[in-house]
Amino acid sequence: MHVLIIDDHTLFRAGLKGLLERRGIAVSVVGNGADGVRLAAQIQPDVVLLDLRMPGMNGLQVLQRLREGGLGRPVVMLTTSDDEQDLVGSLRNGAQGYFLKDMDPDALVQALHEVLQGKTVVTPELTTILAEVVQRGEASGQMPQAVFEGLTPRELEILRHLAEGESNKIIARCLGICDGTVKLHVKAILRKLGLSSRVEAAVFAAQRGLGGKPCAPASLSRI
């Protein structure tokens, strides 16, 4: 595993690099968002660990730039912020995880491996906040079930799997189709629902009560 850390705090950056390297993980580090975007495109790390609060280009802006630049690798926010807007905003903009900086190093490594398996991972302290957001969305009825009427039965089936945090490979195995076919269906789903990422689609679907496929892992894996 090769991890790219984008964080403006020198001591934290160096300390985390040492912790991960002692656990057999290759690590590259950079101290600002602009350099992080360039280095990510150059080295194509397996996972990007991205700080949220940075001067100049903040974490959400970096995340958007990475996605706009075509980076398909997982990006995980690693931050001190337990703010609801930061959490939801990160997931909606394509983050595949949201970790707090005070988490145990071994739990961090385990979570990184889960992210590489295609799961969306949120640190346990924040799952209650996320659940409250979902419940408010369901109660408000802002996105009625009718929004799914434009999807084909196969697209709706794949969206249910996305709600469970599954990768294209896992979905393909469950449905007996090839990875490329799943990818095409996911693109169609995002276009029809006006969404920008599969993570946003997973959150969207979970808010509408989709999911529950027997062969699927949980959409939000608890560390």
DSSP annotation string for 71-120:
--S-EEEEES---HHHHHHHHHTT-SEEEETTS-HHHHHHHHHHHHTT-E
pLDDT given for residue 125 in this prediction: 78
Better pLDDT: 10 or 216: 10
Of 10-14, 25-29, 108-112, 134-138, the range with the lowest mean pLDDT is 134-138
Residue 193: pLDDT over 70? yes
- The SS3 assignment for 196 reads coil
Closest CA to 220 of 100, 113, 131, 105: 131
pLDDT digit string, tens, across residues 134-192 = 566 544 444 445 567 777 888 888 888 888 878 888 888 888 888 889 989 998 888 88
CA dihedral angle for residue 45, residue 53, residue 223, residue 25, rounded to 10 degrees: 30
Better pLDDT: 198 or 73: 73
- Show the domains of the chain with their CATH numbers: 2-131 (3.40.50.2300), 143-221 (1.10.10.10)
Residue 216: pLDDT over 70? no
The pTM of this model reads 0.63
As a whole number of angstroms, the distance between CA 202 and CA 206 comes to 6
pLDDT given for residue 15 in this prediction: 94
pLDDT given for residue 211 in this prediction: 64
pLDDT digit string, tens, across residues 47-72 = 999 999 998 889 989 998 998 888 88
**Burial (CB count <10 Å: 0-12, 13-18, 19+), residue 173:** middle
Residue 209: pLDDT over 80? no
